[in-house]
Amino acid sequence: MKVRIIPTILTDGQTVVKGTQFNNWRTVGMAQAAAKLYATRDVDELMFIDVKASERNSTIPDSLLSCFTDVLNIPFSVGGGVNSLEVATRYLGAGAEKVLIGRAAFSNPKLISEIAHKFGSQAVIVAVDVLNNDKGEIARKCGKDPVSLSVIEWAKELESLGAGELLLQSVVRDGEMRGMDYLSISEVTSSVNLPVIASGGAKNLEDCLQAVNSGASALAIGALFQFTQITPRNIRKHLEEHGVSVRVG
Amino acid sequence: MTNSDFGVSILDLGINNINSVRRALQQNAIGAGIRIESEDSALGNTRLIILPGLGSFAAGMEQLRQRNLDRYLSKAKMRGIAIVGICLGMQLLGEGSEESPGVEGLGLIKGKNEILPFYSNERIPNIGWMGGVPENEGSLFPALGKGKDFYFVHSYHLKLDNPKDSIFKSKYGDVEITTGIKHQSVMGFQFHPEKSSNIGNELIQEIIEWSFYEG
């Protein structure tokens, strides 16, 4: 399967934001404008996450979801506030290919199985927030409250619960653009058979290539596209030049 | 195409992604009326029925039966109306699946769904962009022969009894899997044309034209 480049669009419910270490928000535009822009650039897939939904105890409204369905003819995933089968059903019914489960994976792991049973496991992405892999810690609640649990064990458990994909995010590297967590990528991809989307820290094309060579099936990218001139097409081209198979569009 | 006497029906199972399919049909600017069917009803002027898929095989079959849409599809097949299954929708057209042992499929095409074989360089679910090669009646749809990639999200694949029913095949690991099928008016694609960017739109346009003029 070809490696996917997935721009992430983060929102706080109102505006499009980009986090540096998951807080300190910067407004960079509105969600639909961003989605449209990426759609015209013909990206492989998009990921749209309301990072404050759980905090606000709310979900993404249908009106916002439909502005994605209306403009996108590529797949997109939606995350934020997915804490019940009802929410997942609504997001998927609105046109999302997949839902992203964040903190509910800890508070209600059964939800992963429920969604997988109803929609198939390919519809469930679970976020694994790695705080500090040297200490074997994964984090929950969007980067705060570290839990001491081996990333590998947790990834295996998520696979057996029915997750279809893992979004492996490096909390300490998020938005920092100082290289990705290649160790975690390589450990997780060699211990589960699921596709792993790597995220956090890419600063240049070399980082992207290294993440793919470490085993990532896809790269979710935020800051790199927002704060540099690099485009998804640049990454695809760079990967291709180094023997990685990428989409023929 | 402006003949609004023609109709396209999208089957709503409550668990599938009808909005994206509707958007894709609208983008293709057909004059045909688009109907959403959530239960067995008169076929009327329907010339093309789309069965979008999302979910497990068992859940899909359960919804089809509860809504008597299995009957609707059988009637449509008998009348030679084009039926297109997408993703799980294509799998449901078969006779069964390893995903849900004991659950009978629609049986509109001969074959059963199997889990994708294990390859260390592939992942399950198989998610992303992948190409393929047309065969048999695949030449009816030029979009399949352009060497472009389509978007896939699946863990199972349909193994046909009759290789002649295959119209598109893709490489997975060391083997070739069937990713497009056609037997008379019954068709299916394992990938999502409605999520496959411009090439997906081209294919949808070609399917509509085939259904209305050739089917």
Average pLDDT on B41-66 reads: 90
pLDDT in the model for residue B21: 87
State which residues form the domain around A129.
Answer: 4-241
**Which of A226-240, B127-141, B148-162 comes out lowest in average pLDDT?**
A226-240
Instruction: Compare CB distances from A119 to B19, B55, B122 and report the shortest one's residue.
Output: B55
Mean pLDDT estimate for chain B:
91
The answer to whether position B54 is within a domain reads yes
Instruction: Compare CB distances from A97 to B124, B148, B153 and report the shortest one's residue.
Output: B153
ipTM: 0.85
* DSSP classification of residue B109: S
pLDDT in the model for residue A18: 54
Rg of chain A (C-alpha set): 16
B45: buried, middle or exposed (CB in 10 Å: 19+, 13-18, 0-12)? middle
Q: How many domains does chain B have?
A: 1
CB contact under 8 A, B130 and A42: no
Q: CA dist A211 to A42, A153, A170, A204, A217, Å?
A: 22, 21, 12, 11, 9
Percent of chain B scoring above 90 in pLDDT: 73
More confident residue, B83 or B43: B83
d(CA B146, CA B70): 34
Q: How many domains does chain A have?
A: 1
d(CA B13, CA B66): 9
Q: What is the CATH number of the domain that holds B166?
A: 3.40.50.880
- With CA atoms as reference, the chain B residue closest to A6 would be B128
The answer to whether position A221 is within a domain reads yes
Q: What is the CATH number of the domain that holds A88?
A: 3.20.20.70
- In the block, residue with structure tokens 């992207």: A208
| Chain B residues touching residue A165 (CB < 8 angstroms) | 125, 127
Task: Answer yes or no: is pLDDT of B15 > 80.
Answer: no
d(CA A99, CA A102): 10
Calculate how close chain A gets to B61, using CA atoms only, in Å: 12
**Which of A81-85, B24-28, B97-101 comes out lowest in average pLDDT?**
B24-28
* Residue from B12, B123, B170, B190 whose CB has the most chain A CBs within 10 Å, to mutate: B123
Q: Which of B 113-142 lie inside 8 A of A, CB atoms?
A: 118, 122-131
The answer to whether position A116 is within a domain reads yes
The answer to whether position A191 is within a domain reads yes
Q: Using 50, 70 and 90 to split pLDDT, how confident is the model at A20?
A: very low
d(CA B36, CA B25): 12
Calculate how close chain B gets to A127, using CA atoms only, in Å: 16
Task: Answer yes or no: is pLDDT of A13 > 60.
Answer: yes
Do residues A6 and A218 touch, judged by C-beta distance below 8 A? yes
The answer to whether position B17 is within a domain reads yes
State which residues form the domain around B60.
Answer: 7-214
The answer to whether position B1 is within a domain reads no
Residues contacting residue A144 through CB under 8 Å, at least 6 positions apart: none
